Amino acid sequence: MARLFALDQNFPQPIVKVLQDCQADAELVPLSAIDPRMAELDDWQLLLSLNHHKRPWDGLITTDSSILFQPLELAVLIQTQLTLVVALEAGHNPVKATGLLFAHLAGICKRTRADEGQLWRLRAVTQSHVAPWEQLKTVAEHQHADAAELFAAHRLTDDALAADPLA
């Protein structure tokens, strides 16, 4: 059964609609489609209104991390037993936040429970690049080989390197 989540206005609807068609784990409904007045509510009131709504909402998905530091909002989250999903560290990039959400959505839906409030903090860690030689050394270690020997055994000749495979 698909989970039912309210989605704040910071997620671009054209992207959400396309991605939602590719998954069956959740129905994501923009706040404006639930009730236009919801956009004007404080976060605690928004959670409470979802709890009292005629549809059985599982929770709220937002990019507003300030909710994580508000005791009233957290108390209401505990009392309503809703699930709150916060896309963190996406900056003000709604595309990144949407990708982050959909990368985690299936797992969240599988673990969401109606009898327990939950808080999911989604993060995307930006990493530095890895030098290909360092990765080759890792492969060599797993194969109990020397990286230089592994490279020598697999490197292309100058002629092979110069030849375009599509030519």
Q: Look at strands 118-122 and 59-62 and give their pairing.
A: unpaired
Residue 5: exposed, middle, or buried by beta-carbon count in 10 A (0-12, 13-18, 19+)? buried
Residue 91 has pLDDT above 70, yes or no: no
Question: How many CA atoms within 13 Å lie on the side-chain side of 166?
Answer: 0
Chain mean pLDDT for the chain: 91
Work out the pLDDT band at 13, boundaries 50, 70, 90. confident
- Which pTM was predicted? 0.80
Which residues on neighbouring strands pair with residue 84, listed in sequence order? 60, 119
Dump pLDDT digits (tens) for 35-85. 999 999 999 999 999 999 999 999 999 988 899 999 999 999 999 999 999
Q: Structural domains in the chain?
A: 3-122 (3.40.50), 132-160 (no CATH)
Average pLDDT over residues 89-103: 81
Taking residues 133-155, report their average pLDDT.
95
SS3 state of residue 56: coil
Confidence (pLDDT) at 90: 64
